[in-house]
Structure 1
């Protein structure tokens, strides 16, 4: 690696272009956008017609002539985001010969202890097991049990949920916590009247999930990169990280509760019940699902959310089997890794890949065994889904009629008690059931003096949550018997006649195409193997092209002399500041660069190469790095790249992008400025505490003897 320490090559124009491309790529990852480009309409139509003639896609719709003459050009959009930008950057550098075969090989197959393909296979296979456990409903169910333990006390519930997310995130990583925990909190806060904004709950959950992911190597791909780059055994990594992380979690909690989110309106109470339904089955919630998605009936949507919190679906067999597989996998990995000489004699995915395959077989087997039940539920739900859509369209068509407007005016003059009250739910544990009561009080938007006297202060039992079937019957739709008959016809014949009839005359004349076959196959897979399809849809597959492309980009910086330049700068900093400066400097750099260097994964790749170059500088000079300073640098980097996920930008981690998207689907919009403003004090406290504890740890456990790789 000595030849890579030559910094003179940064004067070459290709080296300058490589650095510029790296910076621009990370800016695009931080601020994704689309590039519009135009093609002739005749070419666009010719391509579509050719694909339709080959039965790949459906025939295109020809607009009627009275709509005017269409433009001569068709606009298409090229997305530039965290997937496409690094790929385009690599292709550009290849085109100008700034990188070649060696950089591509080292950035994908691996070099200097970092094996990208091994890391990605390990992470994806372990993620399958974790997300399968999540799909079984275990996390939602456990969160519900934690909700019961809160027993109406906001601060106690906040503590229980904080502890729960930290404990679970330590073992299965942050992604499953974000997948289920975020939706759970969104529902819980929406149905609690005394939560003005869910800010305290969702930001605390996101922060603690990423704090917890720093404990185990398997919990975050950044930890895998670090362990591979510096030959760290998994158990040794955990031993060095567990104290700073746990102390950070303990200290951060009171700051969150009593300083950052001290407003009482942010720390409130919670929600309550209907027969549980497997949310992995498409249209399992029937017509009520359609109303929730469209926002037509806000009260019904609230009750639906409440139902998912108070009576969550739990696949006991899948949850138990998944937990056993996950525990056995982690124990086996730690045992084999600890027994090896270097900690990396065999790729760790040799353990996780068979375990994920066993979990996949279980999910396929249970899906096939229960296929008749899941298909029936999906078919009934689809009938109700379409019935609600048809009813809504019918209401829209009548809305402009004079009679309908007159009727609506009359109804609007009538007092609606549901508009005057906000609901506060109280949950108490009983041996066999949950007791739910609801206090009805005038809402903040209502004038109490305008209400009838008997209504004020009135208490009534929690209204029964209507099932999808009862909702449909109340709306005058198909009754349950008819729906069941049609569902049975669908299950036995394998054809959803209602869906086919609902396409319209034009669609029914369309020939069978490859796209339609794929759509039907996907629907069949959803209804036959709901867990497998949901888990595969949630796996972070975009991580693969992103990580591999970022590895190649960083390898280009290595060969073009930029990483040695950064390493010399880091060496000068450590010489002047010592071990304390190494911890503070690397902690600050790693946390900040997560926002500007291609998420925390890109930051870990870049800084690992810098530290490796720093090692080589001292190997060449003959002046060794002290054991204390070296490991202080490495473990402060581990803190920074994990904690940096909750800093100033969503793109600081892929988990942040996932978190934002889940909240958006639950009608909770978190802006970029709000994300940075809320997280800045949290990341400042977390990094200050973590780095302080780490400094004390390395001074106790490490000595000033030379570091020996």
Structure 2
């Protein structure tokens, strides 16, 4: 099963942990993982003169446009600030530096390098590779294979298959729940969990939204998230954690699948009735009969819209995203799931490429004498390039059509925003006029009549009008301030939407009759502030999104270099990105969804774990693990490693960081027995390895969103569909699911290793 592990180079000397460098390294590692779990922002105050000088220098270099007068800043100085705050606002610019899974590990590595706690050995081992773990090969393989998987998703195949399952399941709730559960498990096995989460989560959000008797989407979205991560444990290619583990112990891909498929499939089979009849046994969650809104014949006859084309649906996109527009949103959501777009050519070609790639990988990996002979990205890189060429060629052939669709959609959005802004201006002027008349009448009454009880309702009415006006003025001021940037119609949609309360649903019941329909909370938390797949956490992403929205507003369809006197690097980049979206919509969408944030995070975590190895901490953990196994045997090794891996997914830098750390611990544990000339039994060693594989895959649906990047992506997609999941509710709902899954998976694994693994000494 594995060969050539005897050359693992790990120093087992634990006396080094008393040195200050070792202590600092451990402290930095713990703090880094806490920050990954609870991201935040650090306020940075830069002197306004320095900030303006930097902006002016960048403008002189034509990187950005010239600096404009900051009307919002002046308004902030003049209103709502005390003396000290006004002084700070006048002389300093406040920036918010994000501390998240991208920045925290990188800063930790730089800090350890600066104090010479780590050096070339740790950086080389964490990037190029050490002890059979090659980060570069793993990242190259995962990103290239992810391109093929996400391209298949972008073709609309997953959503189309879900639509067919919805038709087959009909209105029978339990049957539909089973069909979707089986579909997501089957697809997740071959293409991984990320594409399932990208399309499947949005589909379920739409489906539960247009059903009149599914009160809460909890059962559907949590079951989908769990089964997608369970399925990703079968193939090495489905999850980067599997790649790390297979590389660390030189496991052939076919051997990995042969050992994992039985525990995973039985877990999925046993888990389903628990979800249906115990965890989500509520008619408001999974009704016996689902009442779906009907799609009109006219809507059914419409040509499906390609969601990859920017502004393809025109103003319908904004109407759907507006939680105050409940009926229209449901109609548009119904069109999205009952009349889905499918690029048959792209889906078919992608399926062929993915199948050929996986078969080739398994065949070559099984035929090789060692898994390190031929890096697997030698296969996935050409396959991804072929898929990329297909997407580019297909986009170029249909460029005239996609550009026309995008152009028409932009015009429709521009017109709708102009009409909405004009309507708000008229309402604002009407309220002001009414308020002035009321004040004049009140003044006249006071001058000519003594005060009576009739003045109180008038005062209350004036106060209410004033309150209503106060909600409109800031939005109009923001819209008007954008005219300085040649973006009169560019007030972002968040700034001109009427303010509304969120609907908070607990156990399927609304807590307020006045809440806005369409927004669902699994608890009262407004935002989570976690890290998204793109590398920015949610709180830090919002300002950037609004700036990009403003930049992306249609400016009469005129390119940047014709709109202003001088084009800048930023304007040219924006124009190029918009051109790429309109010309190559599929390729642009796939590139935007690739988990690039995983690359710097994984490299930085590899370096940190390698630092723990060289500073003696991993051998310490390995000695502790050895004591546990000596006392509990094979069954204890399965239960202990399963528990550790699930827990550490939430506290050791996601399931990727956990896999890196625990792989090093097991390698050191193996080295301890070699040094003592007391070999580990074959049964115990592989029971430990495969129980870790179960734990790091299943651990994604445990207690924290940051247990996996898939969890952060899942939360972000739901938030965009007006379904907000609290951290506490994520843990509460997942606790029985992860308990059942791990108990079943580990029980089957114990039986498997006792049947097929001998109790002879393990020979590396």
Band the TM-score falls in, shorter-chain normalisation? 0.7 to 0.9
Distance 1:538 1:607 in 2: 29
> In structure 1, what is the equivalent of residue 320 of structure 2?
292
Specify which of 85, 108, 117 is matched with residue 127 of structure 2: 108
Contact 1:191/1:302 (<8 A) preserved: yes
> In structure 2, what is the equivalent of residue 21 of structure 1?
28
> In structure 2, what is the equivalent of residue 213 of structure 1?
232
> In structure 1, what is the equivalent of residue 335 of structure 2?
307
How far 1:502 moved relative to its partner?
8.6
1:654 aligns with 2:709: yes
Distance 1:140 1:63 in 2: 45
How far 1:405 moved relative to its partner?
11
- Give the direction of change, closer, same or farther, for the CA distance of 1:502–1:280 in structure 2 (3 Å limit): closer
Specify which of 365, 370, 390 is matched with residue 342 of structure 1: 370
Correspondence 1:252-331 to 2 at 5 A? 252-268=271-287, 269=290, 270=292, 272=295, 273=300, 274-295=302-323, 297-331=325-359
> In structure 2, what is the equivalent of residue 412 of structure 1?
none
In the superposition, the TM-score normalised over structure 2's length comes to 0.79
Contact 1:234/1:338 (<8 A) preserved: yes
Contact 1:2/1:620 (<8 A) preserved: no
SS of structure 1 residue aligned to 2:96: strand
How far 1:196 moved relative to its partner?
1.0
Distance 2:415 2:350 in 1: 37
Unpaired runs of at least 5, structure 2: 1-7, 79-85, 435-508, 511-550
- Give the direction of change, closer, same or farther, for the CA distance of 1:516–1:294 in structure 2 (3 Å limit): farther
How far 1:345 moved relative to its partner?
1.6
Specify which of 174, 189, 196 is matched with residue 215 of structure 2: 196
In the superposition, the TM-score normalised over structure 1's length comes to 0.85
1:609 aligns with 2:664: yes
> In structure 1, what is the equivalent of residue 193 of structure 2?
174
> In structure 1, what is the equivalent of residue 521 of structure 2?
none
Contact 2:407/2:557 (<8 A) preserved: no
How far 1:499 moved relative to its partner?
3.3
After TM superposition, the structure 1 stretch with the greater mean CA deviation from structure 2, 562-571 or 389-398, is 389-398
1:123 aligns with 2:134: no
1:147 aligns with 2:166: yes
Specify which of 402, 413, 420 is matched with residue 374 of structure 1: 402
- Give the direction of change, closer, same or farther, for the CA distance of 1:83–1:504 in structure 2 (3 Å limit): closer
Correspondence 1:615-694 to 2 at 5 A? 615-694=670-749
- Give the direction of change, closer, same or farther, for the CA distance of 1:259–1:402 in structure 2 (3 Å limit): same
Contact 1:128/1:536 (<8 A) preserved: yes
SS of structure 2 residue aligned to 1:4: coil
How far 1:378 moved relative to its partner?
0.4
* Per-residue Cα deviation, 1:281-336 (whole angstroms, up to 9, x for no partner): 00000011122234453222221111110010000000000000000000000000
> In structure 2, what is the equivalent of residue 559 of structure 1?
614
Unpaired runs of at least 5, structure 1: 407-443, 446-495
> In structure 2, what is the equivalent of residue 583 of structure 1?
638
> In structure 2, what is the equivalent of residue 187 of structure 1?
206
1:388 aligns with 2:416: yes
SS of structure 2 residue aligned to 1:264: coil
Distance 1:562 1:684 in 2: 30
> In structure 1, what is the equivalent of residue 17 of structure 2?
10
- Give the direction of change, closer, same or farther, for the CA distance of 1:110–1:654 in structure 2 (3 Å limit): same
- Give the direction of change, closer, same or farther, for the CA distance of 1:363–1:509 in structure 2 (3 Å limit): closer
Contact 1:26/1:598 (<8 A) preserved: yes
Correspondence 1:396-415 to 2 at 5 A? 396-400=424-428, 402=430
Contact 2:10/2:668 (<8 A) preserved: no
Contact 2:145/2:380 (<8 A) preserved: yes
Give the RMSD, CA atoms, in angstroms.
Answer: 2.3
Specify which of 237, 243, 250 is matched with residue 231 of structure 1: 250
How far 1:66 moved relative to its partner?
7.8
1:222 aligns with 2:250: no
> In structure 1, what is the equivalent of residue 96 of structure 2?
77
